[in-house]
Amino acid sequence: MHVVQLVVNGLLLGGVFALSALGFNIIFGVMRVVNLAHGDIVVLAALLCAYEFGTLGFNPLIVLPAAIAGGFVAGAAIYAFLLRRLPGEIASGEASSLTLTFGLSFFLVGSGLAIFGGTFRSVPFLTGALYVGAISVPEAKLLAFVTALILALLLGAFLRFTPVGCAIRATSQHVEGALACGVDIDRVKTLSFGLGTAVAAAAGTLLSMIYDLSPQMGVEFTVNAFAVVVIGGLGNYAGCFLGAMILGLADELTSYYIGANLAEAAPYVLFILVSLLRPSGLLGRRVT
C-alpha cells in the first residue's frame, strides 16, 4: 500500500480520536478525574448506533444528536450519583475516583455483553470511496472526520465564548480562584462530566461507521484517549489534535508494517513513553 494512503487513513482516524480525547480532557481538566470508563461509553454508543441502524434503519447522523443528549444525561448522572458521593480518599491522591471509574468500566463491559452479546458490529453506511489520483478516501471515514471536526470546533467555541464555557475553563485552571469568583463548582463539574461523556458518545457513533466494535474493546479507546491527552498535554485542547493525529498515524502505520497483533500494543507503549519522557506533553506547559 502507498505510504500516502496510510497517512491519509491515519489522519482521518485521528480526527475521530481527537473528538473522543477532547471529552476525556474536559473531564480530566475540570475534575482531575481520569475516567477509565470513557472508552466503554464510546463503544456502547457505537453498538447502540449499530443496533439502531440494523434493526430500525436509522441513519447514524440522525442518531448523533440523540447520542449526544443521552451521553450528556448519562455523564451528569455518573457524576451526581457516583463520583460526587465518594467520601474522600481511600489511599492517596486520585486513587478513589480512579478506582471507581475502573469498576464502572467493567460494569459497562458486562452490561454491553449482556445487551449486545460479544459479536463485532458496525454500521455499513456510506461504503463507497472518493478517489484523488491513486489515493482512495473512504466516504464513511471522511464523513466521520468532518463531523468530528465540526463538533470539536463547536465545543471549542462553546468553551471559549459562552459564560458557562468560561466557568469550565476557569475551574480547570484554578478551583479556588473560580470559587472565589462565584463559580458554582458543583454545577460546573456536573456539566463537564455530562459534556465529556456526550462527546464520547458522539465519537462512538461516528466510530461505528469505521470500525467493527465489540463490548470488550472499550479499554482500547480509554487508553487511546488517555494517550492522546498525554501526548498533547493535559488540559491543552489544541494539543489534543496533534496527539490524535500522531496516534491515528501510529495505528495505521504499525498495523500495516508490523501487523495488527503487535500494533495493539502501540497506544500503550506511546502512552508509557510520553508519560515518562515528556510528562507535560508535546505542546503542554508544566502543570503541578
Partner 1 sequence: MRKLAVAAASLALILLVVAPLRLNGYFVNLIYITMVYVGLAYGWNIISGYAGYFSFGQITFFGIGAYATGFLINGLHWYWMVAALAGGIVALVLAGPLGYVMLRLRGPFFAMGMFGMAQTVRVLITATPATGAGAGLFLPPGSDVTSVYYWTLAVTLGAIALTLWIDGSAFGLRLQALREDEQVAGTLAVNVTREKIVAFMLSALIAGLIGGGFIYFLNYIEPDAAFSSRLDLQSVVMTVLGGVGTVWGPLVGGVVMTQIAEALWARYPQGYLIVFGGLLVALLILLPRGIVPAVRARFAAADE
- Chain residues in the site for partner 1 (CB under 8 A): 34, 36, 82, 85-88, 90-96, 98-100, 102-111, 113-114, 219, 223, 226, 230, 259, 261-262, 264-265, 267-269, 271-272, 275-276, 279
CB closer to partner 1, 5 vs 275: 275
Residues 144-174 as b/e (b if ≥16 CB within 10 A, e otherwise) read bbebbeebbeebeeebeeeeebebbbbbbee
Q: How far is the CB of 261 from partner 1 (least distance, A)?
A: 5
Q: State the minimum distance, in angstroms, from the CB of residue 44 to partner 1.
A: 13
Nearer residue to partner 1 within complex by CB, 184 or 264: 264
Amino acid at 190: T
Rounded to a whole number of angstroms, the minimum distance from the CB of residue 30 to partner 1 is: 15
Rank residues 36 and 63 by Cβ distance to partner 1 and give the closer one.
36
C-alpha cell at 83: 463520583
Closer by beta carbon to partner 1, 65 or else 279: 279
* Closest separation in Å from C-beta 258 to partner 1: 9
- What is the DSSP annotation of 119-163? --B-------EEEETTEEEEHHHHHHHHHHHHHHHHHHHHHHHSH
| Residues whose CB is less than 8 angstroms from the CB of residue 53 and which lie 6 or more positions away in sequence, other chains included | 59, 60, 63, 123, 125, 208
Q: Supply the minimum distance, in Å, between the C-beta of residue 38 and partner 1.
A: 11
C-alpha to C-alpha distance for 66 and 208, rounded to whole angstroms = 15
Q: Which is nearer to partner 1, 20 or 205 (CB)?
A: 20
